[in-house]
Amino acid sequence: MKFGIDRLLNEADLRKPLAGRRVALLAHPASLTADWRHSLDALAALPDVKLTAAFGPQHGLRGDKQDNMVESDDYTDPKLGIPVFSLYGEVRRPTPAMLDSFDVLLVDLQDLGCRIYTFITTLRYVLEAAAEQGKSVWVLDRPNPAGRPVEGNLLQPGWESFVGAGPLPMRHGLSMAEMAQWFIREFKLDVEFQAVTMQGWQPEAAPGYGWPLGHREWINPSPNAPNLSMARAYAGTVMLEGTTLSEGRGTTRPLELFGAPDLDAETVIETMHALAPQWLEGCRLRPCWFEPTFHKHVGQLCAGVQIHVEACSYVHTQFQPWRLMAVAFKAIRQLQPDYPLWRDFPYEYENDRLAIDLINGGALLREWVDDAQAAPQDLDRAVQPDEQAWREQTRKLLLY
């Protein structure tokens, strides 16, 4: 199985259109080749590629920032002597001066298959900037580790943000190259684009169901994305960032568990099963205790729930992380109606909208949780048409 970067490195014919053109790379810590070189170093070693610049998304090109909303600076690569521009610093979109440094931008980013993961927003922004300035964008494709399942409401008009790149669902089921094609079509971008596709990716094959287990090691694309289990759960557990519950940052299992000092985890699990057992299939829930070393509830013993999505406990076609976390919130609200669940703080530099609504691309989920009369079937009725519409509109974009 080959990723896009490995095909570009090994197939000289693929690189011919780059001859005589200045090349830049947008990458992060997981941008590694099959032989464990960072893509920037591997491309720089090619005699027929003129590498003139590099770009880093959130958390940096080499992964220099641990937490969210911590910006990175521009710098000069000490080994290659080329500028490295931050797209999560003073700017989120490449400036004209940055665009002047290259003719072709290679994008080699490992995504998690979730709308909120900011690398796809950065992808949209560089495609738009390239269209405006007559630059070319090539996506060196990588697997979507969450596979093809689709889940969640489409982002509603007016809810666009850096964690909401457009009207797509929380779990989108696309690779980065497929996502680029959707952006180009959705926003009518006139941009020179090329997808360097993977070879041999089977997104519905066991045991990885999106990630090529046994073929490639997992490398963190961001500091709190440490393994495949996190990637599978992330489309649900990311919503914890908009709550007062810990999402496990400051533990060894971030975004695979949730909890708080004042939670009765066993009762929460029991209530989740009573409310919507059909939403809890394909995984196992285990009550646990943890003490975050940083972030929410730092230094406090939290009662929590861990979501297990490995080995025999995982059924790919049944697991619904977004609904699982939705019913977790519903259970807490039912058990403690006045629980201060929603966290009110500036999220991704947005000050006038609740983080939980920004994350979900609208108020639908929060309002469902807070409505004591709303049942699981009500959320299904609201969301299933969006999920089906997304499957239909992206069907012809699938490359694998």
Element (H, E) at 327: helix 321-335
Strands (E), 98-160: 104-108, 136-140
pLDDT at res. 146: 98
pLDDT at res. 248: 97
From CA 313, how far away is CA 174, in angstroms rounded?
24
Q: What is the DSSP string of 109-122?
A: ----SBTTSTHHHH
From CA 167, how far away is CA 185, in angstroms rounded?
13
pLDDT at res. 313: 86
Query: Are 387 and 152 within 8 A, CB to CB?
Result: yes
β-partners of residue 50 are 22
β-partners of residue 38 are 32
From CA 168, how far away is CA 155, in angstroms rounded?
6
β-partners of residue 303 are 260, 289
pLDDT at res. 163: 95
Q: What is the DSSP string of 180-192?
A: HHHHHHHTT---E
Domain boundaries, the chain: 4-219+393-397, 228-383
Element (H, E) at 83: strand 83-86
pLDDT at res. 312: 85
CATH code reported for the domain at 4-219+393-397? 3.40.50.12170
pLDDT at res. 375: 98
Chain-centroid distance, C-alpha 78: 29
pLDDT at res. 69: 57
Residue type, 395: R
Nearest Cα neighbor of 123 from 84, 362, 400, 131 is 131
pLDDT tens for 236-261 read: 999 999 999 999 999 999 999 999 99
Which residues in the chain land under pLDDT 70? 63-70
pLDDT at res. 70: 64
From CA 163, how far away is CA 259, in angstroms rounded?
23
pLDDT at res. 238: 98
Full-model pTM: 0.96
CATH tag for 228-383 (out of 3.90.1150.140, 3.20.20.60, 3.40.50.150, 2.30.30.40): 3.90.1150.140
